[in-house]
Amino acid sequence: MDLNSEAIHSLFDSTNGNVSLRSISKGQSIPAQDESFDAVTLIGVLEHVFLQVDLLKEIHRVLRKDGILIVAVPGQHVFSFLDLGNFKFRFPRLHRRYYEWRHGVDKYENRYIRGANGLIGDIEIEKR
């Protein structure tokens, strides 16, 4: 599940094998019954969320008592500057020029200024 429905649909069909991909609205509960998942993964997600405790409580609700939660967040190390995901933070003007050249001014403004889906880029508006 993701707040950014465009990201889901641009990368995958709405179903990919046995995996069902869905977009949810900000603040919406996970559309699943209590204790209905054996495992939940948050790979490179938690650091983008403003209300992290609320997210973890919701995951706790849908995860079975003996379920597994896997969380991975990026670490900072000597080569962190090479992470292209951080390019927009380190060189914002260059990032803007490149993104506008590649995708257009309107797409840049929608993604990084207006905050489509409640996100600025891939980070919740309140988190920026």
Condensed to tens digits (0 to 9), the pLDDT of residues 16-36 reads: 566 666 777 777 898 899 999
The structure's pTM equals 0.71
Let me know if 16 is exposed, middle or buried by CB neighbors in 10 A (0-12, 13-18, 19+).
exposed
For the chain, what are the domain ranges? 5-72, 80-127
* Residue 65: pLDDT over 90: yes
